[in-house]
Amino acid sequence: MNKLPPIIECVPNFSEGRDKAVIDAIAQAISAVEGVKLMHVDMGEDANRTVMTFAGDPEAVVKAAFEAIRIASEKIDMRSQTGAHPRIGATDVCPLIPVANISLEEVVVYARELGQKVGEELGIPVFLYEAAATVSERKNLATIRSGDYEGLAVKLKDPNWKPDFGSTAFNARAGATVIGARDFLLAYNVNLNTRSLALAKAIAAEIRESGRITIENGKKIRISGRCKAVKAIGWYMESFGLAQVSMNLVNRHITPLHIAFETCREIAAMHGVEVTGSELIGMVPLQVFVDAGIYFAQKQALHPAELSESELIAIAVQSLGLDALGPFSARDRIIEYQL
């Protein structure tokens, strides 16, 4: 069998999920680069955010990412942008991810190359995060994004927040962009049978690793959440008429998708709320579905070893309720199948 060439994936998040013409323009810029395959476009109206997934030759991916960021900076005006999702710029975050025959350390070099090009040629302040971070305090995306776009102008005046690339001048139209290198992250939302934002936030606080802060004897105490390597917030999705717990699973080996789902269901039940399905954003490795299929098959007293890969995937999709909000094709979401 021929060895695969080096392949990296890019999953940029754009602060636009309502204007299809803008998203189509960005997608076309990516698809026009030879050596890159645009695999998925996920538009979110309420979050006003679109997540794209493309992969290919590292140099080609860097070129496509730059073109996407350039088009986004021209088409998206952050001065009038609103949405449910935290964001800091038109291209909010742009991670590069190793897929085949390339190390995370090698991908860091490409992320910094992209960051420098964006900062110098587009005049957009760039912060490096995760494995590409130049200072430990910037590894966490949430830390960089704190204050959102609305607080960016003040943030850039702080010497501690000098961008890794680009000017400290506030780019009112494009905001800033966070670029980095990381392993696979699963973006995953769990649907609740409630419209209560407060309940969704309370459930999220009990799930996420950072937990919540409570007051005991006049002192603030942090109580850790149930799921390690999970970030979570609660929000209300107007278009669906329901609240969700929106999660980022930053290490699927520590907390797999199906465990995050089951934990959310348990905690929701304690609050008198039912989980009615879930929503996967972007694409995932095949093993995510296989592991979930094995888990739920065992719960159903089935024998996973007797089931085919496609049967395990079908069990995972049904058990997670991934088709609750609309048609769902697992084959279209599995990276290995698309490549």
Helix (H, G, I), strand (E, B) or coil at 7: strand
Residue 323: phi, psi to the nearest 5? -105, 15
Residue 51 CA to chain centroid, in angstroms?
7
The sign one gets for the Cα dihedral 117, 118, 120, 126 is negative
Helix (H, G, I), strand (E, B) or coil at 238: coil
Angle at 146 between CA 186 and CA 115, to 5 degrees: 70
- Out of 85, 253, 271, 303, the active site residue is 85
Query: Alpha-carbon distance 141 to 190, whole Å?
Result: 21
**Tokens, residue 12:** 């940029």
Residue 167 CA to chain centroid, in angstroms?
26
Query: Alpha-carbon distance 295 to 318, whole Å?
Result: 13
85 is catalytic: yes
Query: Alpha-carbon distance 235 to 246, whole Å?
Result: 7
Residue 111 CA to chain centroid, in angstroms?
17
Residue of 101, 73, 86, 91 whose CA lies nearest to 13: 91
Which residues belong to the active site? 85
